[in-house]
Amino acid sequence: MLKRTALLLSLLGWGLALPACSQDKSAHPGRDPAYDQMLRVLYRETVPLMQPAELAARLQRAPQSVLLLDARTPAEYKVSHLAGARLVDFDHFEQADFSGLPRDRTVVVYCSVGYRSERVGERLQTLGFATVRNLYGGIFQWVNEGRPVFNAKGATTNIHPYSALWSSWLSRGKPVYE
């Protein structure tokens, strides 16, 4: 836990400095180059990435071919999540055997920005899941690109931003802490 906290504090330093950088946003319309830079520092590249646009197209084309796993906490999931996503509580995933999950489908794991989901994806790979992907930029990028999220009542604009400092990476959605 201490190691994760130190890493996050280090990245927050990046996060606070990078938005001030003057970078060309035309390379990826709708994407923040500073956010992309922060993610490059954050990711270990141990789980292949899936871009939000690719996931959205796949879900539209063949929704049953993808298993979505939300690797955040129950409180974050309650605020909002991708349609059809199953919760994998990050605080307890290391003890899970994931025996009830189908192994013949593509598994896409996401969290707020992709750090926690990459850890869950690594575990799934060690358990023999063949096709595991980490959603690039997590739920933040999904929402920043204008894609929908849901809670128990239906579609929502609410997003749990993990912490007040991380909320600076949300350009859309309403930050809600519960």
Is there a contact between 111 and 117 (Cβ–Cβ < 8 Å)? yes
46-175 CATH, one of 3.90.79.10, 3.10.129.10, 3.40.250.10, 3.30.450.70: 3.40.250.10
Tokens of 24: 């060309």
- Listed by start position, the domains of the chain span 46-175
Q: Give the range among 23-27, 52-56, 68-72, 126-130 with minimum mean pLDDT.
A: 23-27
For 61, the 3-state DSSP assignment is helix
Measured CA to CA, the distance from residue 7 to residue 142 in angstroms comes to 23
User: Residue with structure tokens 């598994």?
Assistant: 107
pTM of the model: 0.84
Mean pLDDT along residues 114-128: 96
Mean pLDDT along residues 91-113: 92
Is there a contact between 159 and 139 (Cβ–Cβ < 8 Å)? yes
**Phi, then psi, of 9 in degrees rounded to 5:** -65, -40
Phi-psi region of 162 (alpha: psi -120 to 50; beta: other; left: phi over 0): left
82 has a pLDDT exceeding 70: yes
Of 8 and 154, the one with more pLDDT: 154
For 23, the 3-state DSSP assignment is coil
